[in-house]
Amino acid sequence: MIIILDTGAERDLEKLEASLRRRIIRKLEFYALQDNPARFAERLVKSEFGDYRFRVGDYRVICDIGVD
C-alpha cells in the first residue's frame, strides 16, 4: 500500500501537535506494510471522501485502498 495525502489532509496533519502527528503517521505506515490493510479498517457506506476509515486514537483517517 502506498500512502498519498491530499492537500487538505496534509494541512490538517500539520495543525496537530508533533507527537500526535508522529503517532498517526506511524500507524499509517504500519497499515501500509500489512498484506491486507483493509482488515484494520471499517468500510464506509456513503462517503464522498473515501471507502474506508482507520481509527487512530480519537482521530479517523478516511481513505481509499487500491490494488497496485
Asked whether residue 2 is domain-assigned, the answer is: no
Asked whether residue 68 is domain-assigned, the answer is: no
Q: Name the amino acid, one letter, at 20.
A: L
Asked whether residue 54 is domain-assigned, the answer is: yes
Hey, which residues does 62 pair with through a beta bridge?
53
What is the distance between the alpha carbons of residues 38 and 16, in angstroms, rounded to a whole number? 25
**What domain range is 57 assigned to?**
7-63
Ranges 12-16, 25-29, 48-52: which has the least confidence: 48-52
Q: Report how many domains make up the chain.
A: 1
* φ/ψ of residue 25, rounded to 5: -65, -45
* φ/ψ of residue 15, rounded to 5: -75, -20
Q: Is the pTM of this model over 0.85?
A: no
* Residue whose C-alpha cell reads 491530499 in the numeric block: 6
pLDDT at position 22: 94
Among candidate residues 57, 54, 50, the one with its CA nearest the CA of residue 17: 57
Asked whether residue 55 is domain-assigned, the answer is: yes
Confidence of residue 38 (pLDDT cuts 50, 70, 90): confident
